[in-house]
Amino acid sequence: MPSSPASERLNLLGLTRPALEAYVRELGSEPFRARQLARWIYKRGEARIEQMTDLAKDFRAALAERAQVRAPAIIEVQLSRDGTRKWKLEADGTQAFEMVFIPEDDRGTLCISTQVGCALDCSFCATAQQGFNRNLTTAEIVGQVWLAGRELAAAGAVARLGEPQEADRPPASRAVTNVVLMGMGEPLANLRQVVPALTILLDDFGFDLSRRRVTLSTSGLVPQIYRLAEEVNVALAVSLHAPDDALRNELVPINRKHPIAELLEACWHYLDEQNGRSVTFEYVMLQDVNDSLAQARRLARLLAGHPAKVNLIPFNPFPGARYRRSPEERILRFRDELIGRGLIATVRRTRGEDIDAACGQLAGRVIDRTTVRLGSKAFGVVVQA
């Protein structure tokens, strides 16, 4: 019997282990087949069901008729001078989103997207200027990690099997060792799809990543931080960018709805619930806006006595941006002021700037925009909790 058209077949990418087990039972097979299937999909990166040779032949035939493994289609690939790779991926017709791989000596970090565009309107971010189209599905979120693994293997960016590894590193056959949800979109505005994606990244039968190697970055959707604390344990990064509400209202408009004190309370709750080590606070360095020593001192007082790290991010310009990057010497003085006051502070190295792949530069292609204003009734429709 011929397979159903691709558009009608279930995409197995994005199904958690319990969902795979339920689907396998629907096909009349035993739950252990779901674990075999997960290994083929997530460990081996196999898309061809007929090649999953330890599955029973009749089960493979039934599966191929009704299901498929389908990642987002690649529109364009760009390679930076520093080795950073950026993929533009197809969403729907004219819509596109982006992911970025950043290779380093001791790790390979994949920055993935969770939405087509973004509705949060942060004033220093290129994604926000694109508007918002829709949330990505779990399959599209997980599919980025799956696709990157295959692409990097084909490009020869994979370690040899059998090489010694750190205790918590993924298998040596994988180039992607860390995943950060810091691409296009606000992950917590798409919680319904993001939580199962995170579950698959952490699952022994999924990508088997350590919770310390998966980071979710949020602009500060406070109710969703509390929800996340009940659902899954990953590293938490928060886009702070200002030491006071007046400035943060301007830079990160969600602050008008959830001010800094409320946001920090949610962060400390998340650590308590998940036994986390610390929260990383991201702080983009904008010349003559948020980079004075007085502001560094206010930031240090704000976070004093709490398990916090500060990651200072040199601003990455984009067309139409009204900000300038703080000079390097001012960034280093800001960092040293924080360190001198007892905080852990680092400066993020800018990567992929020549291909617009640096932090805050991902724009994708958002043609059909949804107009949303924070604090209005319309805002609620883009938050899938």
Provide the annotated active-site residues: 98, 359
Long-range contacts (CB closer than 8 Å, 24 or more residues apart) made by 152-157: 152/85, 152/101, 152/108, 152/176, 153/45, 155/85, 157/103, 157/108
Q: How far, CA to CA in Å, does 13 sit from each of 176, 282, 312?
A: 17, 31, 35
Residue 133 CA to residue 247 CA, distance in Å, equals 28
Residue 148 CA to residue 24 CA, distance in Å, equals 27
Q: How many CB atoms lie within 10 A of CB 249?
A: 16
Q: What torsion, rounded to 10 degrees, do the Cα atoms 11, 12, 18, 19 define?
A: 20
Q: Which residues contact 83 (CB under 8 A, 6 or more apart)?
A: 103
Q: What torsion, rounded to 10 degrees, do the Cα atoms 370, 85, 101, 10 define?
A: 60
Long-range contacts (CB closer than 8 Å, 24 or more residues apart) made by 233-237: 233/202, 233/274, 233/275, 233/276, 234/198, 234/202, 235/211, 235/276, 235/280, 236/267, 236/270, 236/271, 236/276, 236/279, 236/280, 237/180, 237/182, 237/279, 237/280, 237/281, 237/282, 237/311
Q: What is the 3-state secondary structure (H, E, C) of 45-76?
A: CCCCHHHCCCCCHHHHHHHHHHEECCCCCEEE
CB 317 within 8 A of CB 261: no
Residue 161 CA to residue 371 CA, distance in Å, equals 49
Residue 323 CA to residue 316 CA, distance in Å, equals 9
With residue 247 as reference, give the H or E element that holds it. Answer: helix 245-251
